[in-house]
Amino acid sequence: MANGPNDKPTQNQTKSGPSGNDMNDEDTDQLSNDGVASLCATIDQLDSCLDSLEQKNDSLQSKMKAFLNSMNEENSEQEKVTPEVDKKTTKDK
């Protein structure tokens, strides 16, 4: 019985697999399940990597904020001291 381009093979009919061997529906289902399982495992690995990167990013961001706050405080303290030094040097001239 010939199949048209839109006809699906019946349970007992075979399809040509990637290696040219005939495959039945059970074989293709198994390949599909294996492919889905592999994709799920890869997605889980990517998710773990992204979680790790997000944690590192958050840590770096908080360290940078602390560093910037420290630098701002240090600059503020220097600005308080610097005008006094400038006044003394201008009086000496």
**pLDDT tens for residues 12-31?**
454 554 555 566 777 777 77
Strand, coil or helix: 80: helix
28: tokens are 């293709």
**From CA 2, how far away is CA 9, in angstroms rounded?**
10
Q: Which of 22-26, 30-34, 46-50 has the highest mean pLDDT?
A: 46-50
Q: Does the pLDDT value for residue 60 go beyond 70?
A: yes
Do the Cβ atoms of 9 and 22 come closer than 8 Å? Answer: no
pTM comes to 0.50
34: tokens are: 């294996």
